[in-house]
Amino acid sequence: MKGIDYFAPPRLEEAVSLLRRYGKKAALMAGGTDFLLRLERGLVQPGVIVDLKKIRDLRGIKSNRAGLKIGAATLMDEIASSHLIQTRYGILAKGAAAVGSIQTRNRATLGGNLCNASPAADTASPLIALGGRARIAGAKRVREVPLEEFFLGPGKSCLQPNEILKEIFIPSPVQRSAGSFQRCTRTAMDIALVNCAVFLSLASKGGVVQDIRIVLGAVAPTPVRVQAAEDVLRGKNPDEKTIEEAADCAAAGVRPIDDVRSSASYRRAMVRVLTKRAIEEALREAGGEA
């Protein structure tokens, strides 16, 4: 850890040019709650830390007719306690509220949570379910990537060496839509063994599912959509049997591993339980009535 240099540029362009100047030696940091752990454990050994917190453009929650923009360096607690997000994009607020303690949420940022690319990230599943898109700033331009394509593997995102995640865009939810975020943990304060976000919309009348996204965390190298399970429900007015079929389908469609926190088979069982719960809750919320 000796001889590390530190920059906290006030503008995004400066951060990008620092990345260009230092190349592989440079590491980006936002809240630092995850980065500093890895630094302490020697898992990253950067020569230069580029702190993104001072960049105004990376902060804040803005909404318009098209949808919601959240700056990558926006604090987890700001997201969890934003009235707008709680009411319009509730599953994201719930995901953000599940990240660590209040101490952590007061430092950790949305961008940090996503760029760490942990398969268990509690904001990733809700954002994918909501159809979120990552806006990524490079040297020349800003590109946009659907969040489900953002993650490549544990700790690996699609960010190129000179790129910085700028903001997340979430399209406005359509009429009669709702979601649910579920997680399973060992104790109350815990990383998710499995998380599940469902977001669905119903046809203008009745209980037919028009569109649905089911996203699972911590059961594959990246957060994953289980489209086969979505297909079970799309275009149907689901009864209990259909929901169970979808949950079974989700459980069959994931690739969990055994680790110190849980066995793969328990994770798979929890995928089934959480998916079912999430679909049921989302349907209830979207229909306005159970």
Residue 268's CB: how many other CB atoms inside 10 A? 19
Q: Which of 43, 84, 102, 139 binds another protein (CB under 8 A)?
A: 102
Q: Is 130 in the site for another protein (CB under 8 A)?
A: no
Closer of 33 and 201 to another protein (Cβ): 33
Q: Is 106 in the site for another protein (CB under 8 A)?
A: yes
Q: Is 290 in the site for another protein (CB under 8 A)?
A: no
Q: Is 51 in the site for another protein (CB under 8 A)?
A: yes
Q: Is 244 in the site for another protein (CB under 8 A)?
A: no
Instruction: Give the sign of the dihedral formed by CA 157, CA 111, CA 198, CA 97.
Output: positive
* Binding pattern for the stretch 158-187 against another protein, x by CB under 8 A and - elsewhere: --------------------------x-xx
Strands (E) across 61-132 are located at 61-63, 67-71
Q: Is 113 in the site for another protein (CB under 8 A)?
A: no
Q: Which of 16, 39, 136, 202 binds another protein (CB under 8 A)?
A: 39
Rounded to whole angstroms, the Cα distance separating 267 from 261 reads 10
Q: Are 280 and 200 in contact (CB under 8 A)?
A: no
Closer of 203 and 269 to another protein (Cβ): 269
Q: Which of 69, 210, 266, 280 binds another protein (CB under 8 A)?
A: 266
Query: Least distance (Å) from another protein to the CB of residue 164?
Result: 18
DSSP string, 16-66: HHHHHHHGGGEEEESS-TTHHHHHHTTS---SEEEE-TT-GGG--EEE-SS
Q: Is 56 in the site for another protein (CB under 8 A)?
A: no
Q: Give residues with Cβ within 8 angstroms of 144, minimum separation 6.
A: 133, 134, 135, 136, 169
Query: Least distance (Å) from another protein to the CB of residue 256?
Result: 12
Q: State which amino acid sits at residue 116.
A: N
Q: Is 9 in the site for another protein (CB under 8 A)?
A: no
Rounded to whole angstroms, the Cα distance separating 92 from 159 reads 22
Q: Which of 18, 85, 270, 279 binds another protein (CB under 8 A)?
A: 270
Q: Which of 9, 14, 22, 32 binds another protein (CB under 8 A)?
A: 32
Q: Is 20 in the site for another protein (CB under 8 A)?
A: no
Q: Give residues with Cβ within 8 angstroms of 260, minimum separation 6.
A: none
- Spatial strand order of the sheet with 48-51 comes to 5-7, 48-51, 26-29
Rounded to whole angstroms, the Cα distance separating 61 from 81 reads 12
Q: Is 86 in the site for another protein (CB under 8 A)?
A: no
Q: Is 87 in the site for another protein (CB under 8 A)?
A: no
Q: Is 231 in the site for another protein (CB under 8 A)?
A: no
Residue numbers of the site for another protein (CB under 8 A)? 1-6, 8, 32-33, 36-37, 39-40, 49, 51, 53, 77, 100-104, 106-107, 184, 186-191, 260-263, 266, 269-270, 273
